[in-house]
Amino acid sequence: GGRAFADVFRAGVRDLHRAAVSGDQNTVTLTLADAGTLAASGLDLVRPSLAKQLRVEDRVQLFRRHVAGVGAVLVRIAARARLTTIVLGAVALLAAIGSVLLAADRRRAFSGLGVAVAVAGILLAVAWQIGSALVAHAVAAGEERAAAEAVYRAFFGDLRVEAWVVAGLGAVLAAAAVSVVRPAAVEEQ
């Protein structure tokens, strides 16, 4: 339940995801046996009896069966989604540039683009929050809920920050587009 374990757990989940999705088998995450040995070594100085208990258990079984069926299909889809995301991101960027270049009033097009980007960022942040609540309510209270929330934050934690950054950039783009001062006409007298 401590912060130190939560950080190790998140790093392990990210590492396991990378190994499962992209086939990266050269991971640096310690096995639980290694973590137990390290913890026991540190505890030798503070509480030798607890260190002895940690050394008794040398294996902890995390998975009891092979991932197959829907889980395997979802992992393959996630691996292919990475390329799709890059391609669709490039298409969206080209469409945004094209819409501004083809617009009769480019300032208004930049403003609309900025508002659209800000709204998309806010919607993504709201979707992240809804997903977090769904994960929390899908699992019974206690250690299971805390573990599910930690896994969700490990996979999607950065997405929330990125969503707010996108919303902020969109707001800045929209504000910059409407704040440009048009040149005033000079009258002759």
Q: Taking a C-beta distance cutoff of 8 angstroms, is the pair 170, 118 a contact? A: yes
The reported pLDDT for the residue numbered 101 is 92
Output Rg (C-alpha) for the chain, integer angstroms. 25
The alpha helices in 57-105, defined as continuous H runs, are 70-102
CB 163 within 8 A of CB 124: yes
Q: Provide the pLDDT for residue 65.
A: 53
Distance from C-alpha of 121 to C-alpha of 163, rounded to nearest angstrom = 5
- Choice between 161 and 54, residue whose per-residue pLDDT is larger: 161
pLDDT (0 to 100) of residue 7: 73
pLDDT tops 80 at residue 25: no
Please, what is the average pLDDT of the chain?
Answer: 76
pLDDT digits (tens, 9 = 90+) for 69-97: 666 676 677 777 778 888 998 999 999 99
Alpha-carbon span 138 to 145, nearest angstrom = 8
Provide CB contacts within 8 A for 128, sequence distance 6+: 156, 159, 160, 163
Highest mean pLDDT among 83-87, 96-100, 180-184: 96-100
